[in-house]
Structure 1
Amino acid sequence: MTRLSVNINKVALIRNSRGSNQPDLVQVAKDCEAFGAQGITVHPRPDQRHIRYDDVPALKPIVTTEFNIEGNPTPEFLDLVLAHRPDQCTLVPDTPGQLTSDHGWDTVSDAPFLKDVTARLKEAGIRVSLFVDADEKMVEGAKAVGADRIEFYTGHYAHEFAVDPEQAVAAHRRGAKVANEVGIGINAGHDLNLDNLRYYAQEVPGLLEVSIGHALICDALYYGLQNTIQMYLRQLS
């Protein structure tokens, strides 16, 4: 079964809007795991508008499943990750001030940089995943620089799903075939939701993990966090 990692950025965004500790991010992470989540994901950005750098040392000791830190590998970000050593680090090519992640790495053009960063993280015992578009060359490039996994950017898939599910997933299916052939693990994330998740998981062979935050937290406003996590798990079962 594909594993579900819950991204708690939007919980932190709500907390930060009032300058207090409500909701309590640590307690929410504990509850997500108790409700069935198989991982916790955070994505600290330079402006710290949601997850803050000081959230990481508070979360690391209490996450008992898989702790995944994702973000742009700036020097500050790498210092944070290397200091706290999550189970997985997902490298994302965000620019400063970017509203949300909207594209993957060019693993060919950026190969020297990615190879160096990947080696540093793996030497620290951290599994490395690279955020990539569903492109066979980018998958091969990720393997060439030493990454353990890729994370397919699924924003385009989610946008096109309502119009033509088969066309929407076709590139991801091809990319997954290449990933399986070269021996690199497959994660996926961005705009996956209760409508499009089951189809994606069924059509992408070897999908190990999905990271879902925005849609899951939106659904939790209506269904409650425990029920929502179980609903997402059922889509993956």
Structure 2
Amino acid sequence: MTTHRLRLGVNIDHVATLRNARGGALPDPVRAALLAEAAGADGITAHLREDRRHIIDADIDRLMAALRIPLNFEMAATAEMQAIALRHRPHAVCIVPERRAERTTEGGLDVAGDENRLGDFIGPLREAGCRVSLFIGHDPRQIEAAARIGAAVVELHTGHYCDLHAEGRLAERDQELRHLMVGAAHAASVGLEVHMGHGLGFETVQPVAAAPEVVELNIGHFLIGEAVFIGLGPAIAEMRRLMDEARAALA
């Protein structure tokens, strides 16, 4: 079996969370992005939320100026965020569901239930040259709707799989993993590039990385947390090692 190198996108949102908890300029999420780039990250993810709870507009300005690797700009499907994306034209735009009350992104987009609006929304982004990704669950209806509206990529939500692992519900975890694998294969079969992300850590990454259809993993909170203890570069290096080990086993 011929397999491609699995890309690692590093989400730097929670460096900005730490900065904003105290105010001021430190720790600097752009510095974190550059350290991640130097440590071997293939891309940087930053989510500009409507309430600006972590990443702020100035961070996006600076990231676009500083990075040599692609920026994956996560955003809600709102006119404000569309305008910001069209101004910057990042390599990729990932549309995510967003609720002010949530601590982090919960669940995936309901593309099937909002197909016309989302299709109209992503059209200008595609025309501007952004690769449009939709953050969804593994439901085949959502995957097929994403393909119909012209998304280039789907990012399958791994949060439930990771939660089940943390709770020790291993039979349910393994079932959820199987659903993710089936979803990845289905998405690839309808012409979508497949990414996965949310909640992944050292203990959960390898089964996901072993899916041959998956092209990229986006990981953030765990890496930033681990960096407190071992540093960001070593945390990324260990994640990269585990991903490569799992992918090599397919060869």
1:203-229 CA-partner distances (Å, limit 9, x unpaired)? x33111111111111111111111000
Give the distance between the partners of 2:198 and 2:30, measured in 1 at CA.
23
Offset, 1:4: 0.8
Aligned residue in 2 for 1:185: 193
Cα gap change, 1:97 to 1:47, in 2 (>3 Å):
farther
Matches within 5 A, 1:189-228: 189-202=197-210, 204-228=211-235
Instruction: Report whether the alignment pairs 1:92 with 2:93.
Output: no
Find the partner of 1:231 among 224, 238, 250: 238
Give the distance between the partners of 2:215 and 2:65, measured in 1 at CA.
24
Amino acid paired to 1:63? L
Amino acid paired to 1:138? Q
Offset, 1:5: 0.7
What secondary structure, in the 3-state scheme, does the structure 1 residue paired with 2:195 have?
strand
Give the distance between the partners of 1:175 and 1:97, measured in 2 at CA.
29
What secondary structure, in the 3-state scheme, does the structure 2 residue paired with 1:152 have?
strand
Aligned residue in 2 for 1:158: 162
Aligned residue in 1 for 2:247: none
What secondary structure, in the 3-state scheme, does the structure 2 residue paired with 1:96 have?
coil
Aligned residue in 2 for 1:146: 150
Offset, 1:98: 2.4
Question: What residue ranges of structure 1 are gaps of 5+ in the alignment?
Answer: none
Give the distance between the partners of 1:97 and 1:88, measured in 2 at CA.
26
Aligned residue in 2 for 1:22: 26
Instruction: Report whether the alignment pairs 1:77 with 2:81.
Output: yes
Offset, 1:160: 2.1
What secondary structure, in the 3-state scheme, does the structure 2 residue paired with 1:54 have?
helix
Structure 1 runs (4+) greater than 3 angstroms displaced? none
What secondary structure, in the 3-state scheme, does the structure 2 residue paired with 1:110 have?
helix
Offset, 1:71: 1.7
Amino acid paired to 1:234? R
Offset, 1:47: 1.3
What secondary structure, in the 3-state scheme, does the structure 1 residue paired with 2:161 have?
helix
Contact 2:13 2:29 in 1 (8 A): no
Equivalent pairs, count: 236
Give the distance between the partners of 1:133 and 1:26, measured in 2 at CA.
30
Structure that is richer in helix per residue: 2
Offset, 1:149: 0.4
Contact 2:49 2:55 in 1 (8 A): yes
Matches within 5 A, 1:65-144: 65-144=69-148
Give the distance between the partners of 1:169 and 1:25, measured in 2 at CA.
32
Matches within 5 A, 1:159-178: 159-161=163-165, 162=168, 163-164=170-171, 165-178=173-186
What is the percent sequence identity of the aligned residues?
37
Give the distance between the partners of 1:79 and 1:191, measured in 2 at CA.
29
